[in-house]
Amino acid sequence: MNRFLGKNLSLVALLLASPFVIANDEMKHGQVGIASYATVISPDYTKDEKLGGFAVYGTGAFNDNFAGRLLIGFQSHNDYSEIDITAFEGSLLAGTGLATEGFKAYGSLGFYNEKWEVPGFSEKFGGGMIGGGVGYNWQYVSLEFWMNFRSTSDYEDVLGQNATAASGGLGLAGRF
């Protein structure tokens, strides 16, 4: 009886994993890449805060329509280069073409967490974000642009006024 149960459990496990293991040649479920990464915070009545740098990201597609993405970004302030910013973003993507070759487009829902540091001082910001992106998948390479609109309550606490905020990237990734 135990052998029978063991074989059936193995078969069930194989069937559940098959979309990831036995994908057709066009399906690539993973991407790891690097991006030009920027953030703009626009307070009412004052100058925009602009941040720029690069990010490293990974995307895992569950299928051609759903994926998850993690990103870590390293930025500096455009006007005050002594401010170093480390950002972390996590997103769920829903769209089309996320695991196959060709055009892809998606909407995203996620969160961000970032830390601004200068010698002797640091400040943390975080919250939710909503966005989207477009790109193209070749067999082993992906190129895409994305933008996320961020919740701003943490920024507004420090700035003392209403603000809007967005982050975005232009990324090149290897597909596997």
* Count of all residues that appear for the chain in the document: 176
Identity of the amino acid at 165:
A
Phi, psi angle pair for 152, to nearest 5°: -120, 5
Give the DSSP H or E segment for 130: strand 121-137
- Contact status, residue 4 vs residue 126, Cβ threshold 8 Å: no
- Contact status, residue 110 vs residue 103, Cβ threshold 8 Å: no
Mean pLDDT of 25-34: 91
pTM, entire model: 0.83
The Cα 73–Cα 4 span in angstroms is 50
| Opening angle at CA 73, ends 115 and 150, nearest 5 | 70
Say whether 63 sits in a helix, a strand or coil: coil
The Cα 59–Cα 69 span in angstroms is 4
- pLDDT band at residue 25 using 50, 70 and 90 as cut-offs: low
Render pLDDT for 105-157 as a digit per residue (tens, 0 to 9): 999 999 999 999 999 999 999 999 999 999 999 999 999 999 999 999 999 99
Query: Which pLDDT score, from 0 to 100, does residue 23 have?
Result: 46
First to last CA, the chain: 40
Task: Give the CA distances from residue 53 to residues 20, 33, 49, 132, 135, in Å, rounded to whole numbers and listed in that order.
Answer: 33, 14, 14, 20, 20
Say whether 8 sits in a helix, a strand or coil: helix
pLDDT higher than 80, residue 51? yes
pLDDT higher than 50, residue 34? yes
CATH number of 25-175: 2.40.160.20
Domain boundaries, the chain: 25-175
> What is the number of other CB atoms lying within 10 angstroms of the CB of residue 70?
14
